Amino acid sequence: MRKPSVPVPLESSSIKRARTSSGVTVYELARRLGISPGAVSHMERSEQRGSIRMATLNGALAALEATDPTPRAAPEPTRARAPFERREDRVTFELHRAIAGQLLDDPQRVKSVMPGNVARMRSHVRGPLAAGWLDRWEELSRASVGQLIDAMLATDELGMEMRQNSPFLGVLTQDERLRAIERAG
């Protein structure tokens, strides 16, 4: 009987090798792809683990082959990039994409709101599941910006649940919130 094939982890990511050999930073690749730098790091780790989707790998490598060095803003999406069925999930994802952008610009300011918000949320929490989410946010408040963004924008079930219990109240202005909600469709 043949054993099922298991992805063999690579020593390093071909995306990362191509990116570094061509002198492209994580931020530049993120700009070319219209995603967050944390998402680029996540892609590189996924490839290293052998769990990256072929379309994602090909898209990243194609973006690295682009020779246009002219800086330009990433295209503003008209709706969430993640395949969320519920509008509520698309909205929280877009709100957190906006927060991730601010986190890259001013990590100290954004991270500074987390402890107070987590403490306020704890006073209303009932049950171990919600307490666990707050514990995770508390850990992430001490993590690197990349790790925090990866968790904020994770498209798995845990990521969706974490966004529903977010400690970023007060980070976005009302206009920024409305634009993010509009992008969610």
What does each of the 185 residues of the chain score in pLDDT, given as a tens digit?
554 444 444 556 788 888 888 888 888 888 887 788 888 888 888 778 777 777 777 778 888 876 544 443 443 443 334 467 888 988 999 999 999 989 888 999 999 999 999 999 999 887 788 888 899 999 999 988 888 988 888 888 888 888 988 999 999 999 999 999 998 88
- Residues 162 and 99 grouped into a single domain: yes
- Whether residue 70 is contained in a domain is answered as no
Residue 83: predicted pLDDT: 62
Could you give the number of structural domains in the chain?
Answer: 2
Q: Residue 108: inside a domain, yes or no?
A: yes
Structure tokens at 1: 């009987």
Range of the domain at 165: 87-183
Backbone angles phi, psi at 27, to 5 degrees: -65, -40
Same domain as 61, residue 94: no
Q: Are residues 61 and 91 in the same domain?
A: no
Residues 48 and 93 in one domain: no
Give the domain CATH number at 45. 1.10.260
Q: What is the pTM (predicted TM-score) of this model? A: 0.56
Based on the fold, state whether residues 178 and 134 are members of the same structural domain.
yes
CA 43 to CA 173: how far, in whole Å?
A: 30
Are 56 and 118 within one domain? no
Residue 5 within a domain: no
CB 172 within 8 A of CB 99: yes
Q: Identify whether residues 179 and 93 lie together within a single domain.
A: yes
In a domain, residue 148? The reply is: yes
Residue 156 inside a domain? The answer is yes
